[in-house]
Amino acid sequence: MAALAALCLALASQGLTAWALGFTAPTNLARPAIAAVVALLTWFFNQAILDALPSRLQVALLSTGMWIQCLKTFDDLCLSRLSFEGISPSFTKRASFGVSNLWNMRGVGTRKQISQIPPWSSQTHSLVPSRSHELRRHVRNSIISFLILDVFAAQPPPDPNMISPQKEHLLTRIGQITPEEAMFRFFATFGFWLNTFCVIHLINSAFSLLYLSLNLYPVEMLPPIWGSLSEAYSVRRFWGNFWHQTLRRHLTSLSDFLVHGILRMPKGLVSRYCKLIGAWDIGEGDQRYQLFRYNCTGDYL
């Protein structure tokens, strides 16, 4: 029953969001109310999912994904005011617009499309590969990412002495760090980033395979999420050009609203960094929420 309840709540929130995107005007006063109802449905979903799934990892991923979609709904309906722009009263076209933009995180193909979307080819930016080519690419990416994650999952737990509270700090005990600890820290950091990359890669490829197999999205709406590693020669370009930008539009939009809409800060250098910090904190809050739902212990599958 809990699984059925969670499924119904998820379908209700998705259906309500799709309807609002396709059938309401940008200034429609019903939009804020719909965003509030979606947030309430998401909260109930997160309560139901706890009893529906035995794995805390699955709960954390689904729970976080639904809150991300809830954040996107608030941005699309109330801040960015994304809506169907054609004059056609066709029910099919409006419904298709709403459904296709449910998880269109980067706004591809809309007037809200973000600026940093990597091309398929660095030589020919206008190149769009065939559907069969993309299906093969996502199958390959899914398999490789899954195998790498499986290798990490099969590793034995780390030495408790290496992760003891006494070794939590780094700079205050820099002279006490042994070569063994330095090596452990390096590979732990490298493993974290590789794991994160593979998880995002696997999720993106799995959903892209679903969309392409069912012909829900054209290839043009599913561009690569990673930029070129050669462009990551500074911290700013790492986050802005190489790393995935799936949350960029909604984090920056909400941060803009907090800084300019609520705090009424004028545009300038101070507000620019306040928006950057705000977007970073919102994203960090999402990461902490996922860890909280996972509880940092227990199941891995």
* Residue ranges per structural domain of the chain: 126-222
Burial 117-146 (b: 16+ CB within 10 A, else e): ebebeeeeeeeeeeeeebbebbeebbeebe
Contacts of 224 (CB under 8 A, 6+ apart): 118, 119, 120
pTM here is: 0.76
Predicted pLDDT at 221: 87
- What mean pLDDT do residues 129-144 have? 93
The CB density around residue 182, as the number of other CB atoms within 10 Å, is: 11
Please determine, for residue 26, whether its predicted confidence score (pLDDT) is greater than 50.
yes
279-298 burial, b at 16+ Cβ within 10 Å, e below that, comes to: beebbeeeeebbeebbeeee
The tally of CA atoms less than 13 A away on the side-chain side of residue 285 is 10
What pLDDT shows up at residue 134?
Answer: 93
> What integer is the mean pLDDT of 90-114?
85
Residue 288 confidence (pLDDT): 60
